[in-house]
Amino acid sequence: MSVFPKDFLWGAATASYQVEGAHDADGKGLSNWDVYSHLPGTTYMGTNGDVAADHYHRFKEDVALMAELGMKSYRFSVSWPRLFPKGRGEVNEAGVKFYSDLIDELLKYGIEPMLTMYHWDLPQALQDEIGGWESREIIDAFEGYARLLYERYGDRVKLWATFNETIVFTGLGYLTGMHPPGVKDPKRAIQACHHVFIAHARAVETFRKMGVQGQIGFVNVLQPNDPITNSAEDVKACELAEACFTHWFYDPVLKGEYPAELLAMAQTALGVPVFAPGDAELMKNNICDFIGVNYYKREMIAANYDVDGFEMNTSGQKGSGKELGWKGLFKLVRNPNGRYTDWDWEIYPEGLTDAIMRINKRYGNVPIYITENGLGAKDPIVNGEVLDQPRIDYLREHIQATGEAIKLGADVRGYYPWSFIDLLSWLNGYQKQYGFVYIDQENNLARKKKLSFGWYQKVISSNGEE
């Protein structure tokens, strides 16, 4: 008997900027990524999402492949500037129609759409005109965007996520400067992040006021942290890392407040986040229906007296990753006994069981969807076949780890590998592949099923027993 419930949602995920292409088609406005990826030195070898997998023009072919795979659900994101070219104001009906057609096509095959409202592609106009996430004005703009989504798709979409991985777009966008808008300032990062939580709470409030029939949640990355040694200083550094990486991002949406100790630390040291009247109540009153967890790796933590900076391996040259961290607080270090990908991400399936159970313990038995999990690799092609056996091994172990958490009592309702199809990796280009479907860049972006496609088909048809 399978440990997975019989209505378990076996899915796969993508995101608009990474898969759609058609960056200026049919009235779409430019996003922050359309602009940023064209600036020198921002992405791996200058790659961008102008064309990507051209899913915008080929979604019917792609959805047919999803149906062939047996997918029960598809997690995708909407490009805000495709709907509102300027972020607010005039609606681009051609953009609205694209997602409406996509949703209809999914439902035709009985595939449940899971819609993410914001997977990092901000209308550039909002960056230019108001300063993006640093401005409180963005909260109204986001609410207007959410309202349009509910009005147009609320009759058909039942699973909604407001934001994807706030830690990444605010952390890399405002703290390490590796994502747009390329700022390096902890104070600005924390305040931008606060506006995201408030925008989320407002979108949840509006969802409920409008009576949309469905569930609304938030998607976070979860990298469980473990101390590299049992020394008191490493353990302490690890606790701080977990509070910063996990509790700061989960507590506001599952408890409706920031972790008190860390909030006091940030406000004392930096004077942020600044609350406007009503913010605290809004957070408190708009807890999520579910949480989406993106899991790829664990991070080992050590006390930090030397490293100050963030330089990631974006080339796929194994071992080229450096230690990352904030001096005086903590650093992320390599596990000498760990298995690693070519991008120096630790492969640690037990961490997924652990991550789920940490959520269960802190927030109660909240419904959980594993909204991303996957292996980024340069897949080998042998006699024209894409033999991605390492991906199969990775996913198999992580599916088992998900099953373990279900056995322990967690309410896990779905599993969405990243990614359905090969697509753009933000900083690592097209060479870092995750998909069940390969895109032939030399042959008009023709789709080709990888070895993992047939394997995942069996996982789904056997409800995880493969």
Q: Is 164 annotated as a binding residue?
A: yes
**295 binding ligand BGP? (CB under 6 A):** no
Q: Which two tokens stand for residue 209?
A: 């006021």
Nearer to ligand BGP, 145 or 430 (CB): 430
304 versus 341: smaller Cβ distance to ligand BGP: 341
Judge if the upstream peptide bond of residue 461 is cis by omega within 30 degrees of 0.
Answer: no
Structure tokens, 405: 């958490």
How would you label 345-374 residue by residue, b for 16+ Cβ within 10 Å and e otherwise? bbbbbebbbbbbbbbbeebeebbbbbbbbb
Whether residue 119 is annotated as binding a ligand: the answer is: yes
Please, which of residues 425-444 interact with ligand BGP by CB under 6 A? 425-426, 428, 432
Establish if 15 lies at the interface with ligand BGP (CB under 6 A): yes
Question: Which C-beta is closer to ligand BGP: that of 152 or that of 432?
Answer: 432
Contact with ligand BGP (CB under 6 A) among 31, 37, 48, 164: 164
Using CB under 6 A, which of the segments 61-69, 140-148, 162-170, 349-357 binds ligand BGP? 162-170
Q: Which stretch binds ligand BGP (CB under 6 A): 1-9, 231-239, 355-363, 420-428?
A: 420-428
Residues 37-96 within binding reach of ligand BGP (CB under 6 A)? none
CA 20 – CA 440 distance, rounded (Å):
16
Which of the residues 190 through 229 are near ligand BGP (CB under 6 A)? 221
Whichever of 92 and 314 has its CB closer to ligand BGP, that residue is 314
Q: Are 195 and 205 in contact (CB under 8 A)?
A: no
- 372 classed as catalytic: yes
61 is catalytic: no
**Annotated binding-site residue? 17:** no
Write the binding mask 18 to 47 for ligand BGP: x where contact by CB under 6 A, - elsewhere.
x-----------------------------
Distance in angstroms (rounded) separating the CA atoms of residues 82 and 322: 37
Choose the binding region for ligand BGP from 192-200, 377-385, 422-430, 451-459 (rule: CB under 6 A): 422-430
Tokens representing 315 are: 């080339």
Residue closer to ligand BGP (CB basis): 206 or 373: 373
Establish whether 418 is an annotated binding residue: yes
Least Å distance, CB 17 to ligand BGP, is 8
Distance of CA 328 to the CA centre of its chain: 29
Cβ within 8 Å of residue 99, ≥6 positions away: 78, 82, 83, 115, 152, 153
Is residue 376 involved in binding ligand BGP (CB under 6 A)?
A: yes
Token pair, residue 20, equals 């759609």
- How far apart (Å, rounded) are the C-alpha atoms in residues 271 and 275? 11
Q: Which of 418, 436, 453, 456 binds ligand BGP (CB under 6 A)?
A: 418
| DSSP run (H or E) holding 217 | strand 215-221
Contact at 8 Å (CB) between 216 and 207? Answer: yes
Instruction: Exactly one of 112, 165, 242, 346 is catalytic; name it.
Output: 165
Count CB neighbours of 445 within 10 A. 17
Taking the CA of residue 422 as centre, how many other CA atoms within 13 Å lie in the half-sphere pointing to its CB? 25
Q: Is 433 helix (H, G, I), strand (E, B) or coil?
A: strand
Q: Does 168 bind ligand BGP (CB under 6 A)?
A: yes
Integer angstrom CA distances of residue 16 from 54, 161, 222, 260, 437: 10, 14, 22, 35, 17
Shorter beta-carbon distance to ligand BGP: residue 206 or 425: 425
Q: Minimum distance between the CB of residue 78 and ligand BGP, rounded to whole angstroms?
A: 14
Binding residues, as ranges, are 18, 119, 164, 296, 418
Could you give the residue numbers annotated as active site?
165, 372
The residues that touch ligand BGP, with contacts defined as CB under 6 A, are 15, 18, 164-165, 168, 221, 294, 372, 376, 418, 425-426, 428, 432
Binding residues for substrate, as ranges, are 18, 119, 164, 296, 418
